[in-house]
Structure 1
């Protein structure tokens, strides 16, 4: 996943590692040097030119060079910095390396303007899934399946698509196996086509004598998935969100966890079929 590189993004990223107004915090200059090197931007690093600059100015200068001469390397550096800031607790308010509420809000806004969604805990994802294809989309869906299994509510909603993980996964499977995604198909139809692509059994599939016992589990996943979709459409906003008054928080979390289990199972079968 290639992250956006723009003037507003560069400014926001620089603020995430700026410690000029506070006691020194991670990432350190040494860690930044490693990240810059991994991105292939050492020659653009002011420190490599003998200059003594603060961390924010160092990152700005490196990324400003990249935006003109090597955009992919700049995008990689942004991703590495976000990952490092998250790893050292920069997005956690109780951490000594916390970057600050305003800095995080500015970064969220900056990525929002580039059609990317940065969460308050540092996770980032594209708002439009059409920008991802093939294995990269599989990895993306797997990551959110794991979050959904832990009951993370935002993982059940792919912002900007209006579709939850199960529907996005079904479309991905159809695209991967058949080379197209049907338009205006309802959720049960999409799931049925995804199941057909993976040679899985739906509740409508006749039971065969001595069939593998896993076929019953496949049917159960299908039923759970279509039930979740009905709840989403009737009780939610129609866009994957399940935080409504007729559902308790425990019920919502249970449904979201089931979304993760179903998504993970479908993606596992997709990988097995390739």
Structure 2
């Protein structure tokens, strides 16, 4: 699993505190305590030879590199405080630092949304049965506007994970070799949300059939777009796809994932 810490990220986060700028020493202390990286900090309030804020942040990230079990907590904690400090606002004095941080995070498989929320990019480890991880990823993708090409890859991974989750929850055995299309067909079949599952005599059945058919088209085309970009690349949009259209695709994929999970909950009485 990738972790959002590296020497480059240490330097990028530290830059927000250069020359005494950024959140306070007490704020940094709080983040270190909550994330479990206060040991080795070396800062004692009132002492004359304390490390400065930039040094403290960089040192904490480097400790997280050596002991990455709670590295995400540390980086997310720092981002929360930077967000509260106004660092991610469009006209803040930290525009250059934000751009540098996003570049550093991307090289470790992460980025941030416009408001400074940490995002996992590329292949996502959403273990079957972990509904919380699925809900979290839907929320992150919906709020993100950064790097739409990479987000399409994340949307494809999300949809595949949702299909696997549905089949696992319904105790339906799936071959390890099942591909994206097979997983989604089986998930829709088990949930009864294929166009052919709609009762023809019901009012609005034609329209509902078309909507359910369109939902499958969304999933299918997200997978196709991901394949066009190349596995693991996720950086270059197909030439016919604008950044705005890519974000539309991502958000439609999130709505589809949510619909499927909500349908599962209803059928299981949750």
Per the normalisation by structure 2, the TM-score is: 0.70
Provide the secondary structure at the position in 2 that maps to 1:81.
helix
Provide the secondary structure at the position in 1 that maps to 2:73.
helix
Q: 1:195 maps to what in 2? A: 188
Alignment of 1:32-181 (within 5 A): 32-48=28-44, 50=47, 51-68=49-66, 70-95=67-92, 98-101=93-96, 103-114=97-108, 116-119=109-112, 121=114, 122=116, 123-130=118-125, 134-144=130-140, 146-147=142-143, 152=145, 158=151, 163=156, 165-174=158-167, 177=170, 178=172, 180=174
C-alpha distance 231-65 of structure 1, shift in aligned 2 (>3 A):
closer
C-alpha distance 203-168 of structure 1, shift in aligned 2 (>3 A):
same
Q: 2:214 maps to what in 1? A: 224
Provide the secondary structure at the position in 2 that maps to 1:46.
coil
Measured in 2, the distance between the counterparts of 1:218 and 1:125 equals: 34
Q: 1:265: Cα distance to partner?
A: 1.3
Q: 1:81: Cα distance to partner?
A: 0.5
Q: 1:2: Cα distance to partner?
A: 7.5
Gaps of 5+ in 2: none
Decide whether the 8 Å contact of 1:129 with 1:161 is kept in 2: yes
Q: 1:94: Cα distance to partner?
A: 0.6
C-alpha distance 191-156 of structure 1, shift in aligned 2 (>3 A):
farther
Measured in 1, the distance between the counterparts of 2:243 and 2:155 equals: 22
Measured in 2, the distance between the counterparts of 1:147 and 1:181 equals: 34
Provide the secondary structure at the position in 1 that maps to 2:43.
helix
Decide whether the 8 Å contact of 2:17 with 2:54 is kept in 1: yes
Measured in 1, the distance between the counterparts of 2:124 and 2:204 equals: 31
Provide the secondary structure at the position in 2 that maps to 1:18.
helix
Provide the secondary structure at the position in 2 that maps to 1:26.
coil
Aligned residues: 257
Measured in 1, the distance between the counterparts of 2:241 and 2:14 equals: 44
TM-superposition CA deviations, 1:105-136 (whole Å, max 9, x none): 4333333333x131463342142213655234
Measured in 2, the distance between the counterparts of 1:74 and 1:112 equals: 16
Q: 1:82: Cα distance to partner?
A: 1.9
Per the normalisation by structure 1, the TM-score is: 0.69
Decide whether the 8 Å contact of 1:127 with 1:158 is kept in 2: yes
Measured in 2, the distance between the counterparts of 1:63 and 1:254 equals: 35
Measured in 2, the distance between the counterparts of 1:73 and 1:252 equals: 32
